[in-house]
Amino acid sequence: MSIFQSSTQAVPDQQDIPQHVAIIMDGNGRWAKKRFLPRVAGHQRGVESVRSIIKACVKRGVKYLTLFAFSSENWRRPQDEVSWLMQLFMKALEREVGKLHENGIRLKIIGDRSRFDAQLNALIDAAEARTSANTVLTLTIAANYGGRWDIVQAMNHLLKAQPQACSAGVDESALAPYLSMAYAPEPDLFIRTGGEQRISNFLLWQLAYTELYFTDTPWPDFDSRALDRAIHSYQKRERRFGRTSEQLQDNA
């Protein structure tokens, strides 16, 4: 069983500052195009936004930040953009881990790692091991991640561990510990930058009761003020988890 409550089975604890923020960092390519720059220049600028949003989350007391860096569908992009993104990811890992560690940040990478080369996998293992005891913020990077992949891999692991589940069936709480974010509470706030209003196969299971926030701001322009606007919008929401508004007022 996960140590965290599932939003479909119990009403999770809520705070003013979202405990877990999950972001689809979109709009890098269009940001660059508008400036007559190559798409990769947008990805490069996107790394700056990652840095500033991590800092802002630490300052505001967010405990989990999850960033969608590369989806299982992004392999469909031109080969040179894919390899650029992989290089960027590797370089950022190499360069930033020390700083993350100094700031008490625990790093986790989720996604299907079987398509990464040995060097990248070794880098990920080392970065996760080095930062594993840190408690200020858990930063999760979703790389070659897909929400459907996650549910299927969880089911396959469960069946391996409990072959009898094949005939007996399973319930939500049996599957949950095998999901790739079992170490974190479900996201409170989801942000997608860049103007599109879709989930694009991100955390399908975990977003069951997450508050959704979409902004036209492209990721390279998303700064701490933009984050505050998203948090402010979150703070105005009434999270009912299936109950009525009257029930919430009665409990207040």
Would you count residue 115 as binding ligand IPE (CB under 6 A)? no
Residue 127 identity (one-letter amino acid): A
Q: State the nearest-atom distance from the C-beta of 8 to ligand IPE, in Å.
A: 25
- Of the listed pieces 11-19, 108-116, 120-128, 194-202, which binds ligand IPE according to CB under 6 A? 194-202
List, in sequence order, every beta strand (DSSP E) within 52-158: 64-71, 105-110, 137-145
- Which of 50, 65, 69, 124: binder of ligand IPE (CB under 6 A)? 69
26: annotated active-site residue: yes
CA 220-236-25 angle, to 5 degrees, is: 20
Query: What is the smallest separation between the CB atom of 5 and ligand IPE, expressed in angstroms?
Result: 28
Helix axes 39-60, 79-102, angle to 10 degrees: 30
**Under 8 Å between Cβ of 66 and 22:** yes
Least distance between ligand IPE and beta carbon 28 (Å): 4
Contact status: 47 vs ligand IPE (CB under 6 A)? no
Say whether 125 is catalytic. Answer: no
Contact indicator for 65, 231 with CB cutoff of 8 Å:
no
Q: Does 74 bind ligand IPE (CB under 6 A)?
A: yes
Of the ranges 20-28, 111-119, 160-168, 175-183, which one interacts with Mg ion (CB under 5 A)? 20-28
The radius of gyration of the chain from alpha carbons, rounded to an integer in Å, stands at 19
Is 22 one of the binding residues for ligand IPE (CB under 6 A)?
no
Say whether residue 68 binds Mg ion (CB under 5 A): no
Q: Is 24 in the site for ligand IPE (CB under 6 A)?
A: yes
Smallest Cα–Cα separation from 70: which of 142, 21, 134?
142
DSSP code of residue 136:
S
Chain centroid to CA 136: 17
Residue 132, both tokens: 């594993």
Q: How many residues does the chain have?
A: 252
Binding residue for Mg ion, selected from 6, 19, 22, 26, defined by CB under 5 A? 26
Q: State the number of binding residues for Mg ion (CB under 5 A).
A: 1
SS3 182: coil
| Residue 6 makes contact with ligand IPE by CB under 6 A | no
Q: Does 68 engage in binding with ligand IPE (CB under 6 A)?
A: yes
Which residues of the shown chain bind ligand IPE in the complex (CB under 6 A)?
24-30, 68-71, 73-74, 85, 194, 196, 198, 200
